[in-house]
């Protein structure tokens, strides 16, 4: 039996994904050291300046450094990704556990609500929620987070249905253990593998959704450096300054790729069906 | 089969009920007077009062919901706060464009995704497999709006081959369809590969090979035929993903579809249109899922008897 870390290390794609994520997290953490200036300070004299040795990614329509804004944007995007999966985890996981464990009317109610949320494609649901809640960082996290909840409910419910039939759960029940203890101490640790995989993949999706909202102008608002919004503001200059829209898109792409590769790698390690 | 169809039709009722509740409370969650929100900022006090009477806002919430359901059943979604045209007309006018875009994107995605998945499956763990699975992963990770812009830079700005946006000819459809197809081709490739690998390892494939059949016949007639069921399901389910992606693609290419209508309406705070477009999107998604389920049951009789 090879230990999980060795298996992860052997999976080159997953390792590449993790390195990508490490770069993003380090960039976000040390942003002020990597770019000491103010990434939102405009300088119209240098607007739409092309990439050069001094300014490797060029300047945007307000003369702000694109590299600086991408560096600071990693903080915003990772904050959104973490916030979104937290919303999904803290609401979706308990509901999935309760739905799967108790069954009956509770399960029926939760599942029909889940069906309703799943009746809309994820991005559309986030869009509809933004229409109600309004724009901004907090509302972007809440809207995209709510669109993730039904996915966690379905996933955790399915796993709970199979885990609750295990002998150790029956034994705990026979000993008179409280339902809450059974749910969180016996069932939850045994459904953590799919939750971990979904969390990694979900963070990538969260970045894509939030960037999509930012691109449409209904996500994080300027001057906050957010990759999707940067891309959107570079769109009118596509014909004579394509660099403004190109680099923020690459930042989104590699971040999502990192989460997807790591999620796939985790699946190979944690999902019993892939272990052979 | 008839019983299964009925059962599946009945199962959509709670979802439809849920959607109606979501739309009803969506408006009531907004700060301020729902009548003012629906009428728009420029409406006169008389217009606002008329809407208040129509919605029954002075009556209990349950009665209001009943009235709302009644209007929903008649597809009476009110008037746009911007144009004052009936919402259903606005949505109906845009729907064919979105369907055209979605269908052409799904077609393109199948045209590339299914052969790519088959090639990857018959040569697993070779460079062909790695190439197609990597491309699939890139497709999943790529922001659709960024890909759209990059295609515009290449084909419209640099090469001058295709228009950068709008409608009018088949040429206008190419870039938006390609962009949207890239969004779903990854899922189709992955599912085709996985199903084909499984089908190729089954006893009936070994039997076909041992009978001395040509490899092409084994792959296409025996393996692919059996692998098609999950592939069809994924193709159908991707339709929902396409609707989400269409919002962004239509914005990038100024394509006059439902997605762009929703975005324009959100920016203009035109809530009647937002409600109507979301309702139609939801219904469309439910219909497609229902169709896929029924097709699945038709192709695989085991589903019907479960």
> How many residues belong to chain A?
276
Hey, is the C-beta of B274 within 8 angstroms of any chain A C-beta?
A: yes
Task: Identify the pLDDT of residue B45.
Answer: 83
Residues 6+ apart with CB under 8 A from B102: B180, B239, B242, B243, B246
**pLDDT tens profile A39-51:** 988 899 999 999 9
**pLDDT tens profile A212-248:** 999 999 999 989 999 999 999 998 998 889 999 999 9
Hey, is the C-beta of B262 within 8 angstroms of any chain A C-beta?
A: yes
Which DSSP category does A51 fall into? P
**Residue B192 near residue B117, CB atoms below 8 Å:** yes
ipTM exceeds 0.95: no
Q: Among all residues of chain B, which has the CA nearest to that of A204?
A: B141
Closest by alpha carbon to B197, among B118, B134, B285? Answer: B118
Q: A65 pairs with which residues across the strands?
A: A59
Task: Identify the pLDDT of residue A1.
Answer: 54
Chain B residues near residue A73 by CB distance under 8 angstroms: none
Residues 6+ apart with CB under 8 A from A4: A269, A270
From the list B26, B142, B152, the residue facing A253 with the nearest CB is: B142
Quote the minimal CA–CA distance from A169 to chain B in Å. Answer: 28
Interface residues from chain A to B (CB-CB < 8 Å): 13, 112-113, 115-116, 119-124, 127-128, 130-132, 204, 208, 211-212, 215-218, 228, 231-232, 235, 238-239, 242, 245-246, 248-249, 252-253, 256-257, 260-261, 264
Q: Is the per-residue pLDDT at A275 higher than 60?
A: no
Task: Identify the pLDDT of residue B151.
Answer: 94
pLDDT in tens, chain B (306 residues): 778 788 878 888 888 888 888 888 887 777 777 777 777 777 788 888 887 777 777 788 888 888 888 888 888 888 888 888 999 999 999 999 999 999 999 999 999 999 999 999 998 889 999 899 888 889 889 999 999 999 999 999 899 999 988 888 889 999 999 999 987 898 899 889 988 998 888 898 899 889 888 888 888 888 888 888 788 878 877 877 787 788 899 999 999 999 899 988 888 888 888 888 888 888 888 888 888 878 877 777 766 655
Distances in Å between the Cα of B28 and the Cα atoms of A223, B21, B38, B223, B236 are 31, 11, 11, 53, 34
Hey, is the C-beta of B254 within 8 angstroms of any chain A C-beta?
A: no
Which DSSP category does B123 fall into? S
The pair phi, psi for residue A56, each rounded to 5°, is -55, -30
**Residue B254 near residue B166, CB atoms below 8 Å:** yes
CA angle, residues B269, A79, B147, in degrees to nearest 5: 65
Can you tell me the distance from the alpha carbon of A74 to that of A57, in angstroms, rounded to the nearest whole number?
A: 15
From the list B29, B157, B244, the residue facing A121 with the nearest CB is: B244
Hey, is the C-beta of B240 within 8 angstroms of any chain A C-beta?
A: yes
Query: What token pair was written down for B59?
Result: 């009556």
Hey, is the C-beta of B294 within 8 angstroms of any chain A C-beta?
A: no
Quote the minimal CA–CA distance from A185 to chain B in Å. Answer: 33
Helices and strands per DSSP (H, E), number in chain A: 13, 0
Can you tell me the distance from the alpha carbon of B34 to that of B208, in angstroms, rounded to the nearest whole number?
A: 66
From the list B149, B157, B266, the residue facing A127 with the nearest CB is: B266
Task: Identify the pLDDT of residue A7.
Answer: 74
B78 Rama class: left (phi>0) / alpha (psi -120 to 50) / beta: left
Classify residue B164 by burial, with Cβ atoms within 10 Å: 0-12, 13-18, 19+.
Answer: buried
Quote the minimal CA–CA distance from A39 to chain B in Å. Answer: 22
Task: Identify the pLDDT of residue A272.
Answer: 56
Q: Is the per-residue pLDDT at A276 higher than 50?
A: no
What is the rounded average pLDDT for all residues in chain A?
91
**pLDDT tens profile A2-17:** 677 777 777 888 899 9
Chain Cα centroid distance, residue B231: 16
Task: Identify the pLDDT of residue B270.
Answer: 85
The model's pTM is: 0.89
């Amino acid at each position: 039996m090879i230990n999980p870390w060795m298996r992860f290390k052997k999976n080159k794609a997953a390792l590449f994904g993790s390195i990508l994520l490490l770069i993003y997290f380090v960039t976000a953490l040390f942003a002020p050291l990597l770019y000491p200036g103010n990434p939102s300070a405009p300088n119209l004299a240098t607007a739409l300046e092309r990439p050069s040795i001094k300014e490797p990614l060029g300047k945007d329509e307000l003369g702000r450094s694109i590299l600086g804004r991408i560096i600071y944007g990693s903080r915003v995007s990772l904050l959104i990704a973490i916030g979104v999966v937290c919303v999904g985890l803290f609401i979706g996981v308990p509901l999935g556990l309760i739905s799967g464990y108790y069954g009956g009317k509770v399960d029926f109610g939760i599942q029909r609500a889940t069906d309703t949320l799943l009746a809309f494609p994820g991005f559309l649901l986030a869009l509809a929620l933004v229409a109600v809640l309004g724009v901004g960082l907090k509302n972007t996290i809440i809207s995209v987070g709510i669109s993730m909840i039904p996915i966690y409910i379905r996933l955790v419910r399915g796993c709970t249905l199979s885990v609750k039939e295990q002998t150790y759960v029956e034994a705990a029940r026979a000993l008179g253990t409280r339902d809450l203890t059974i749910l969180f101490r016996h069932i939850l640790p045994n459904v953590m593998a799919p939750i971990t995989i979904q969390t990694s993949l979900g963070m990538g999706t969260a970045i894509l959704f939030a960037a999509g909202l930012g691109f449409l102008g209904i996500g994080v608002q300027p001057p906050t450096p957010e990759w999707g919004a940067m891309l959107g503001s570079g769109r009118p200059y596509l014909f004579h300054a394509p660099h403004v829209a190109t680099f923020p898109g690459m930042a989104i792409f590699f971040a999502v790729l990192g989460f997807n590769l790591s999620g796939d790698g985790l699946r190979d390690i944690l999902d019993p069906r892939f272990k052979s | 089969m008839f019983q299964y169809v009925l059962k599946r039709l009945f199962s959509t009722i709670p979802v439809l009920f849920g959607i109606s509740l979501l739309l009803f409370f969506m408006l009531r969650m907004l700060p301020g007077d729902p009548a003012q929100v629906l009428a728009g900022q420029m409406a006169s006090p008389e217009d606002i009062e008329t809407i208040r009477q129509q919605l029954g806002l002075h009556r209990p919430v349950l009665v209001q919901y009943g009235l709302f359901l009644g209007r929903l059943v008649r597809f009476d979604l009110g008037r746009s706060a911007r144009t004052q045209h009936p919402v259903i007309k606005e949505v109906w006018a845009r729907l064919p464009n979105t369907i055209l875009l979605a269908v052409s994107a799904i077609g393109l995605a199948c045209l590339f995704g299914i052969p790519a998945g088959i090639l990857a499956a018959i040569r697993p763990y070779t460079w062909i497999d790695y190439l197609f699975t990597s491309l699939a992963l890139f497709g999943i990770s790529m922001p659709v709006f960024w890909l759209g812009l990059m295609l515009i830079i290449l084909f419209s700005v640099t090469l001058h081959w295709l228009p950068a946006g709008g409608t009018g000819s088949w040429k206008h459809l190419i870039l938006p369809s390609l962009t949207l197809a890239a969004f779903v081709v990854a899922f189709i490739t992955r599912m085709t590969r996985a199903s084909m690998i499984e089908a190729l390892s089954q006893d009936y494939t070994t039997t076909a090979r041992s009978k001395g059949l040509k490899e092409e016949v084994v792959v296409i007639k025996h393996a692919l035929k059996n692998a098609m069921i999950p592939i069809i399901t994924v193709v159908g389910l991707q339709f929902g993903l396409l609707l989400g992606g269409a919002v962004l693609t239509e914005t990038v290419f100024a394509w006059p579809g439902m997605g762009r209508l929703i975005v324009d309406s959100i920016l203009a705070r035109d809530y009647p249109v937002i409600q109507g477009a979301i309702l139609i999107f939801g219904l469309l998604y439910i219909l497609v899922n229902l169709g896929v389920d029924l097709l699945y049951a038709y192709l695989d009789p085991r589903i019907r008897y479960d």
